[in-house]
């Protein structure tokens, strides 16, 4: 078969996975791919050729094998992980790889995943792992990493491991040789949503598309907000309709859907225009009734689905959330506009809804205005967040911000 111009890096600990890496190397080459074997093991390759040795991996971080001396296995793997995290994206920037396949057990999966997550979004990255299916979230995190379950342990080549590794090679071939998506010329806008604000997000997407903008909706269940903020920091997002900031309530109240303490900060730090609404601040998410903290035993809750319990926030909590939002947005370097739907912030926060509480929205607005004053526009509308007129207003404000930024850009 004719050799492809695409090079796939094969990442693994050759002191324990040399046989499997060698098999994967042959399968990739049979498909016409070039390969670059990177040894991230603890130096001994057991005869398998490495195009980039463990010593060279360490050198990428300014280290030598002496830096592994007198360390425990876990400590040594930690050193190698940090070095691989520097090396792999460097090789991509230099044009030496088009995609990466990593293989590993528990430790090896963590090492490979850490290095691959450092690659930009869109670069094919595939991990064959013994831990897939048990707990994949820590390995994928905010990246587009694909995990293949190894099915059996990755020890030698048999009909199971041979099938899995062959499929992994074929999948990577498809990813690195497929046609690239041609993105529209208009800016990409991020929209945040939960099921309770999806109607508003869908309307915003339509109105943006009608004006030549592309939109991506992020599900703000904790991971979704973090993913969006990484995409902002990676330079993929040019405008933000942050309609749903439930993750801030989860962070404050200890809910399971938190996106961390830095949520609602990336756009501001990078000067990205943003329109923010208090969508979903009527609730905090918990995984199950038996995980609801004891201090919330007497609170109003609703079973959203078999695994998720929602807890209604109080006006005092909404007041504090308004202050938190205000303090975060005051630091923004770009345009900020807050829209407040006074008739409700979620599908559950409306007349006859289980969480309907007008005082909650009013408290949020009061807390926000107390902190912000007149630093940026705050507009309160006598509508519900899922009404069409709210979506139209949110889009019109953001589009105006984007146009002003474009007009002010250097020629």
Q: Is the pLDDT of residue 51 over 60?
A: yes
From the list 249, 267, 278, the residue with the least C-alpha distance to 380 is: 278
Do residues 138 and 160 share a domain?
A: yes
Q: How do 283-286 and 308-312 pair as beta strands?
A: antiparallel
Residues in the chain: 411
Do residues 213 and 261 share a domain?
A: yes
280 in a domain, yes or no?
yes
Distance CA 54, CA 9 (A): 14
Mean pLDDT of the chain: 91
Do residues 20 and 166 share a domain?
A: yes
Structural contact between residues 76 and 68, judged by C-beta atoms closer than 8 angstroms: yes
Do residues 169 and 193 share a domain?
A: no
Q: Is the pLDDT of residue 411 over 60?
A: no
Do residues 65 and 134 share a domain?
A: yes
The 8-class DSSP code of residue 129 comes to E
Distance CA 271, CA 280 (A): 25
Distance CA 314, CA 32 (A): 61
Domain of residue 199, CATH code:
3.40.50.12030
Minimum mean pLDDT among 179-183, 201-205, 284-288: which range? 179-183
Structural contact between residues 121 and 231, judged by C-beta atoms closer than 8 angstroms: yes
pLDDT at 47: 60
Count of domains observed in the chain: 2
Distance CA 332, CA 56 (A): 41
The residue among 177, 200, 218 that closes a domain is 177
**How sure is the predictor about 49, in pLDDT bands with cuts at 50, 70 and 90?**
confident
Q: CA angle, corner 280, sides to 277 and 285, nearest 5?
A: 145
Do residues 167 and 199 share a domain?
A: no
Distance CA 266, CA 331 (A): 10
- pLDDT tens string 96-155: 999 999 999 888 999 999 999 999 999 999 999 988 766 677 888 888 899 988 888 888
Do residues 228 and 102 share a domain?
A: no
Do residues 30 and 138 share a domain?
A: yes
The residue among 115, 144, 177 that closes a domain is 177
Cα-Cα end-to-end distance for the chain: 49
Structural contact between residues 81 and 51, judged by C-beta atoms closer than 8 angstroms: no
Do residues 309 and 392 share a domain?
A: yes
Q: In sequence order, what are the residues at sequence separation of 6 or more whose Cβ sits closer than 8 angstroms to the Cβ of residue 274?
A: 239, 240, 241, 242, 267, 268, 332, 334, 335, 336, 337, 398, 401
Q: Is the pLDDT of residue 243 over 80?
A: yes
pTM exceeding 0.95 = no
- pLDDT tens string 302-357: 988 888 899 999 999 999 999 999 999 999 999 999 999 999 999 999 999 999 99
Do residues 167 and 272 share a domain?
A: no
The residue among 133, 148, 177 that closes a domain is 177
Do residues 173 and 212 share a domain?
A: no
1 in a domain, yes or no?
no
Domain that holds residue 63: 7-177
pLDDT at 33: 95
Give the phi and the psi of residue 183 in degrees, each rounded to 5: -75, 145
**How sure is the predictor about 183, in pLDDT bands with cuts at 50, 70 and 90?**
low
């Amino acid at each position: 078969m004719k050799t492809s111009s695409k090079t796939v890096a094969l990442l693994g600990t050759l002191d324990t996975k040399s046989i499997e890496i060698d098999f994967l190397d042959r399968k990739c080459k049979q498909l016409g791919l070039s390969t670059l074997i990177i040894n991230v093991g603890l130096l001994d390759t057991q005869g398998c050729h490495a195009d980039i040795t463990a010593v060279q991996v360490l050198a990428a971080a300014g280290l030598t094998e002496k830096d592994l001396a007198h360390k425990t296995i876990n400590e040594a793997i930690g050193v190698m992980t940090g070095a691989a995290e520097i090396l792999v994206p460097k090789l991509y920037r230099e044009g030496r790889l088009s995609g990466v396949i990593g293989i590993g057990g528990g430790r090896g999966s963590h090492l490979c995943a850490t290095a691959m997550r450092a690659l930009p979004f869109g670069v094919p990255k595939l991990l064959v792992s013994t831990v897939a299916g048990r707990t994949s979230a820590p390995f994928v995190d905010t990246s587009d990493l694909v995990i293949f379950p190894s099915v059996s342990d990755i020890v030698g080549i048999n009909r199971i491991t041979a099938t899995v590794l062959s499929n992994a090679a074929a999948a990577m071939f498809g990813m690195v040789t497929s046609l690239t998506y041609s993105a529209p010329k208009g800016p990409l806008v991020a929209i945040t949503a939960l099921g309770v604000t999806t109607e508003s997000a869908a309307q915003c997407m339509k109105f943006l598309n009608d004006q030549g903008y592309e939109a991506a909706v992020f599900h703000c269940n904790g991971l979704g907000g973090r993913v969006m903020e990484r995409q902002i920091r990676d330079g993929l997002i040019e405008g933000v309709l942050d309609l749903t900031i439930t993750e801030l309530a989860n962070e404050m109240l200890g809910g399971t859907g938190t996106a961390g303490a830095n949520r609602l900060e990336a756009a501001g730090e990078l000067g990205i225009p943003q329109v923010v609404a208090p969508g979903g601040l009527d609730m905090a998410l918990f995984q199950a009734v038996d995980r609801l903290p004891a201090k919330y035993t007497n609170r109003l809750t609703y079973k959203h689905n078999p695994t998720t319990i929602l807890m209604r926030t109080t006006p005092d909590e909404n007041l504090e959330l308004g202050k938190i939002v205000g303090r975060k947005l005051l630091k923004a370097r770009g345009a900020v506009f807050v829209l407040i739907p006074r008739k409700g912030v979620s599908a559950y926060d409306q007349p006859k809804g289980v969480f309907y509480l007008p005082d909650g929205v009013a408290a949020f607005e009061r807390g926000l205005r107390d902190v912000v004053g007149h630093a940026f526009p705050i507009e309160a509308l006598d509508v519900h967040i899922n009404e069409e007129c709210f979506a139209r207003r949110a889009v019109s404000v953001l589009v105006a911000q984007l146009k002003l930024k474009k007009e002010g850009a250097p020629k």
